Amino acid sequence: MMKLFMLYVNRTDYSKTLFITFVYIIKTSDTLILTKISNIQCQLLPEKALFFPENRMLVISDLHIGKIGFFRKNGIPLPATSVLTTIEKLQKVVEVYSPDTVLFLGDLFHTFDDSLWSFFSEVISKILHRTGIILVSGNHDVFPNEKYEVIGIKVCDVFIWNNLCFSHEPQEDEGALFYNIAGHIHPAVRISSRGKQNLRLPCFCIGKSRSLLPSFGHFTGSHTITPHKDDNIFVIGEGAIFSV
C-alpha cells in the first residue's frame, strides 16, 4: 500500500554547460554552505548530504550499495573497495553531525547482495543506538520493506516534514502544497573557466519548488542538468562546496 501520497515522476535527461564569471563561497565553516530551503535553514555539506539543524535531520540520497559488485560481475573492472568508501563516509558524516534522524532518499541498495546486506546491517545497528533511520523507497530498492524494518529502518514512499516533501524521484507539480526535495537524478553541471578548462561536477540544485540532491555513493555516476534561470547551483569538488 502506498504510504502518504502518490509520487509525480519526471525522468528527463539534461545537458548544460555553465560559464563561470565569478565563484564565491557562503560558509559557516571551511567546507559547508548555510542557506535556506523553503524558508527553512539548512546546511549543504561537501559530503553531498543535507543537514537541517532545526530537527537535526541528515538527508542522504542514492548510496547504491552493491552497484560496484554488479558491474564487476558483468566484466567491468571497478575497484571493490568503493563500497567501503561509501559506508565509511556514511559513518563519518553521522559521527560529525550527530543527527537525530538520518533520512535516505532512495536507492540505498543497487541490487540484491546478501553479503553486503550483512555488513550494512552491522553498521546500521551501531548508528541506530543514537539515530533514527528512515528510507524513502527508490527504484533500485529491491529488498522488501520488512527486511529494512527488522533492523530498525522505517520505510515509506514519501516523507513529509514541516512544509517539505522528501521523495526519491522529483515531483514537478508547481501547484503542490509541499516543497519537494528529491534524489534520483544524480545532478551535475559542466563548468568552463576563462582558461578554457572544462569540469563536470556534482551539485545541489536548489529551485523555487524543488531541490535535487547529489548522489552520496562512490562510483554512482551523474547526469548533467540544465538549471532553470531561478535555480541556485552549488557544486562540490576537492572537499569544498561552491555557489556558481
pLDDT, residue 84, reads 75
Flag whether pLDDT at 177 surpasses 70. yes
pLDDT, residue 178, reads 94
Are residues 136 and 167 in contact, defined by beta-carbon separation less than 8 angstroms? yes
pLDDT, residue 66, reads 67
* Full set of structural domains in the chain with CATH: 17-243 (3.60.21)
Render 145-161 in DSSP notation, one character per residue.
HHHHHHTTEEEES-EEE
pLDDT band at 33 (very low <50, low <70, confident <90, very high): very high
Q: What is the pLDDT of residues 61-107, one digit of tens each?
A: 999 886 454 444 444 444 555 567 888 899 999 999 999 999 999 88
Distance (Å, whole) CA 138 – CA 118: 20
Tell me if residue 46 falls in helix, strand or coil: coil
Q: What is the pLDDT of residues 187-226, one digit of tens each?
A: 999 987 666 677 889 999 999 999 999 999 876 667 799 9
Are residues 207 and 230 in contact, defined by beta-carbon separation less than 8 angstroms? yes
